Amino acid sequence: MKNDFTCLFAGEAGYGVMSAGSTVAKAAGRNNLWAFVVNEYPSLIKGGLNTCLVRLAAAPLKAHEETMDCLAVLSQEGLEQNYARLQPGGLLIADASLTVDSARLAEGVRVYQLPLLQKGSGDVAKIMSNSAMLGAFCAVSGFPINLIEAVLADEFKLEVFEKNRALLRSNYELVAQQTAGAAFSLAFSQTPVKPMLLNGNDAIAMGALQAGCKFAAGYPMTPGSSVLTYLADNGPAFGLVFKQAEDEIAAINMLIGAGFAGVRAIGSTSGGGFSLMVEALGFAALAEVPLVMVNAQRGGPSTGQPTRTAQADLAFVLNAAQGEFLRIVVAPGDIEECFYETFRAFNLAEKYQLPVIILTDKYLADSSVTQAFFTTEGLAIERGKLVDEAWLAEHQPYHRYEFTADGVSARALPGTAGGRHIATSYTHGEDGFYSSGNREYAGSEPEVTVKAIDKLFDKEPQILAELEAVKLHGPESADLTLVVWGSTKGAALEAMELAKTAGISVNVLQVVYLSPFPAAAVAEILKRSKQTLLIEGNKTAQLARLVRMYTGIELANRYLKYDSRAFTPSQILLKIKEVLA
């Protein structure tokens, strides 16, 4: 019996194909199935082809697959682009107005052409076409229609629900006369549940709220914007203030201001917006102001591909802003890591008084997954060396940038008695004054400059000791070690299981923290690996360059994908077999 089922809903923007897909995913999730949802859409103000791929299974899913069991399509373009992805014996549901080329279909594909597109004026008629499509989908696939109705009932007011339900049922009954209905091979639970269906950006926003974030600012830029919209919608209930700035430069300076004042804050953007922020990023580092930023990668350079995925910003983020300073860069690989690593990012930013960059990408940011509720027990907010009036009264004069063994100085918030200090963008001494004009300390400008720069990097050993910077998934020893970071984790883990079924021993080395780079931990695993295969979504193997620079180990076998689409488990399995052949 097949253990998963994939359907692609496709049509012109405005016809609600993404809503159709998410409705199926929610209905499945509420009945103990697992869903993985990938939305694709062009960078257009209006029109263009939208698709929503929904993969369902009885066990948790970590990635999508390109091939599909069912294609439900409302536009000719959607049909033309997806003939080859429909598997033999699959189902094709198409509007009656479309021209279907049977010669391009795989063997045994059953075709159902129906009047799906609703006629009428305005957007209401258009968007109800998805209900007609869902009715047909339930009839030909055997997906229980009552589960779809239950989701629609929760999401629409009664009048709107009844209209959609009537259309859903009428098309279901029309198609049911033409087919006995394929038995949906995945078993539903008899005890409905209500898990979450959320994407990576939702999880990041939730992690920020759990961490006590009270301010968010940004300027919209796909695919980072939905972190901000989630916080704008839901943050006020948690005491969060959201500000849409006039541009990215203003946004990051607002965040730095909030951090200086002691307020936990977050910003979110993509590579182009982050490019505008880099001078202020350096200011936050030198002034040692806590800062948490999300960079959700998309295709580049320049405007690139605003609505497609890539992993090409790694080198940029590691080196953004002039000069040298320590920053923490974390690349979560799945929904859970988006939540927990975001929570941790706020603690790290305040404990070590530096910028923390959460590096994600369109695939992880925008793909939705069935997810159990996060466990928050044991999550403690840590504010580091944040001092009060009593401490300051015993430590006068107060030196905000005191040179300490661990590089972290006592931090007083503005308005705290005895805590007056200068926060400056200049290289400075302990008292915050420009290094060439230091008033209190003996020593030349070069000496003070060296101490100031060393101070920024003295934090590194303690950070590396604290973090679980790498994870080894699978057996301790294997014939092949896949090396990944970020969203490639999911496809690599499923590929590892596929390889196991095929009798191939594979494990996965995931680098979670890219800065400071965990050289010793990476080297320890790679030195005992028999063979390696790098899986990375860029052209220049940016992680491989880091590994070589810090460990001297060359990752010779590489699967690099930069066609604007994410990896799939089956694609990686083919590459595994090629390397081991």
Could you tell me if 518 and 546 are in contact, meaning their C-beta atoms sit under 8 angstroms apart?
A: no
DSSP-derived secondary structure for 247-264:
SHHHHHHHHHHHHHTT--
Tens digit of each residue's pLDDT (9 = 90 or more) over 53-85? 999 999 999 999 999 999 999 999 999 999 999
Q: Where in the chain is the domain with CATH 3.40.920.10?
A: 4-194
Residue keyed to tokens 């299981």 = 497
- The average pLDDT across 263-284 equals 98
CATH fold of 198-371, please? Rossmann fold (3.40.50)
H-type alpha helices, 421-507:
445-457, 460-466, 488-501
**pLDDT value at position 84?**
94
User: Three-state SS across 321-355?
Assistant: CCCCCCCEEECCCCHHHHHHHHHHHHHHHHHHCCE
Does the N-terminal peptide bond of residue 518 adopt cis geometry, omega within 30 degrees of 0? no
List the end-to-end C-alpha distance of the chain, in Å, as a whole number.
29
For residue 267, give the H/E element and its range: strand 265-269
Could you tell me if 63 and 566 are in contact, meaning their C-beta atoms sit under 8 angstroms apart?
A: yes
- The average pLDDT across 390-398 equals 96
pLDDT band at 507 (very low <50, low <70, confident <90, very high): very high
Q: Where in the chain is the domain with CATH 3.40.50.920?
A: 469-580
Residue type, 103: A
- The average pLDDT across 395-420 equals 96
Percent of the chain residues topping a pLDDT of 70? 96
**pLDDT value at position 127?**
77
Lowest mean pLDDT among 85-89, 262-266, 307-311, 447-451: 447-451
Average predicted confidence (pLDDT) for the chain = 94
**pLDDT value at position 122?**
57
SS3 content of the chain, % helix, strand, coil (to 5): 40, 20, 40
Q: Where in the chain is the domain with CATH 3.40.50.970?
A: 198-371
- For the cut 80, the answer to whether the pLDDT of residue 441 exceeds it is no
- For the cut 60, the answer to whether the pLDDT of residue 436 exceeds it is no
d(C-alpha 8, C-alpha 431), whole Å? 61
Lowest mean pLDDT among 117-126, 207-216, 519-528: 117-126
**pLDDT value at position 184?**
67
- For the cut 90, the answer to whether the pLDDT of residue 183 exceeds it is no
Tens digit of each residue's pLDDT (9 = 90 or more) over 348-372? 999 999 999 999 999 999 999 999 9
* Choice between 19 and 192, residue whose per-residue pLDDT is larger: 19
Choices 3.30.465.10, 3.40.920.10, 3.40.50.300, 3.30.70.100: CATH for 4-194: 3.40.920.10
Looking at the domain covering 469-580, what would its CATH class be? alpha beta
* Choice between 374 and 124, residue whose per-residue pLDDT is larger: 374
C-alpha 278: how far from chain center = 21
